[in-house]
Amino acid sequence: MKRIICYCAVVLVIISGCRKAPYLVYSDIARIQISDTITMSATFVFKNKNIVRDTQYINVSTIGGITSFDRPVKFEQIPEYTYTYKRDPVTNQIVDTIVTAVPFQAKPGVHYVDFNDKSVQDIMVVKANEAVAKIPVILLRDTSLVTNSYRLRFKLVANDQFGLGVKSAQQKTLVFSDRLERFASWSTDNGLAAGWFGKYSTGKHQFMIDVLKQNIDQAWYDAASAAGALRQYSTVLKQALVDFNSDPANQASGKAPLRETASVTSPIVTFP
């Protein structure tokens, strides 16, 4: 009987310890993390030329309760690099590493408002009595965005109000320009939009805009999906592509067949 009592006591201690563990991990201090770390894209291309700023919002969530006052959130840009490894042909051991900066990294004050700028610090907050927030990142319409897409990778930084949450939820990347960019539902060639329109390319994207006379972006996709119109749009675009490619004038000028880019060696545009 004593053995049974001792065994039960040990089990209770283990269970008690397991129950306390999440509390110690998640409730020791207030913590913050990014709700969605998938790369975001943005573009000025559909906006009037007099619009020189665009705000993208980053969803964050907190752990450890709410407060009666606003709590500041701190972001910091992260330099990005690629690594090329040289290996010994005999041992296959790494003998050298070449570190290369990723091109077209956003510059504070040129492509976005610096996270340390006083004008944004007052709005980069989790509001009083709230546990989640949309933190603004203000992009600037520099002329360099017309010719290249720029990358802004950033991370959360601990401050006197927040520690950091889950390690995998601390960083995010924004890719933005003043030209056509993928939108959220077409962020990959396996995305939702790809099921209707196939592989993404800027040539296809521009063709869709020309044919449908609409800004083809996430708002358009959401509206078309809600209206059940995606199949109809797909049918219209496939026929429009056939008509375009069979037009003698387009063939004579070299515009047909339509290609994914301006290069004559680029793959031909197709719709599924």
Residue-wise pLDDT for 133-192, tens only, equals: 999 999 999 999 999 999 999 999 999 999 999 999 999 999 999 999 999 999 999 999
Answer yes or no: do 251 and 150 share one domain: no
Residue 127 lies in a domain: yes
Residue where a domain terminates, one of 136, 151, 179: 179
Answer yes or no: do 216 and 269 share one domain: yes
* b (16+ CB within 10 A) / e for 218-251: bebbeebeeeeebeebbeebeebbeebeeeeeee
Answer yes or no: do 198 and 159 share one domain: no
Q: What CA–CA distance (Å, rounded) separates 255 from 258?
A: 6
The rounded Cα 168 to chain-centroid distance in angstroms is 15
Q: Is the distance from CB of 172 to CB of 153 less than 8 angstroms?
A: yes
Answer yes or no: do 166 and 214 share one domain: no
Residue-wise pLDDT for 256-265, tens only, equals: 999 999 899 9
Residue 3 lies in a domain: no
pLDDT at 28 over 90: no
> How many CA atoms are closer than 13 Å to the CA of 221, on its beta-carbon side?
18
pLDDT at 68 over 60: yes
- pLDDT for residue 18: 43
Reported as a pLDDT band with limits 50, 70 and 90, residue 266 is very high
Reported as a pLDDT band with limits 50, 70 and 90, residue 27 is low
Answer yes or no: do 55 and 175 share one domain: yes
Answer yes or no: do 69 and 134 share one domain: yes
- pLDDT for residue 5: 44
Residue 1 lies in a domain: no
Answer yes or no: do 201 and 265 share one domain: yes
Reported as a pLDDT band with limits 50, 70 and 90, residue 95 is confident
| Averaged pLDDT for residues 78-106 | 93
Cβ count near 160 (within 10 Å): 7
Say which range, 17-31, 42-56, 117-131, has the weakest mean pLDDT.
17-31
Residue where a domain terminates, one of 153, 179, 205: 179
Answer yes or no: do 63 and 156 share one domain: yes
Answer yes or no: do 86 and 165 share one domain: yes
Residue 13 lies in a domain: no
Sheet of 53-63: strand order equals 132-140, 53-63, 31-34, 163-164
Give the domain range for residue 241. Answer: 182-272
How many domains is the chain partitioned into structurally?
A: 2
Say which range, 17-31, 62-76, 88-102, 153-167, has the weakest mean pLDDT.
17-31
Residue 7 lies in a domain: no
**Of residues 120, 123, 101, 124, the one with CA closest to residue 109:** 120
Q: Is the distance from CB of 193 to CB of 156 less than 8 angstroms?
A: no
Reported as a pLDDT band with limits 50, 70 and 90, residue 24 is very low
What letter does residue 268 receive in the DSSP assignment? B
| Averaged pLDDT for residues 34-46 | 96
Answer yes or no: do 107 and 232 share one domain: no
Reported as a pLDDT band with limits 50, 70 and 90, residue 26 is low
3-state DSSP call for residue 47?
coil
Answer yes or no: do 134 and 235 share one domain: no
Q: Residue 157 corresponds to which tokens in the numbers above?
A: 């930084």
Residue 74 lies in a domain: yes
Helices (H), 134-257: 194-197, 202-212, 218-226, 230-246, 248-253
- pLDDT for residue 4: 45
Residue 16 lies in a domain: no
Q: Residue 119 corresponds to which tokens in the numbers above?
A: 């004008």
Answer yes or no: do 166 and 190 share one domain: no
What letter does residue 112 receive in the DSSP assignment? B
Residue where a domain terminates, one of 179, 198, 229: 179
Residue-wise pLDDT for 199-251, tens only, equals: 999 999 999 999 999 999 999 999 999 999 999 999 999 999 999 999 999 99
**Of residues 217, 173, 129, 230, the one with CA closest to residue 36:** 173
Say which range, 2-11, 25-34, 103-112, has the weakest mean pLDDT.
2-11
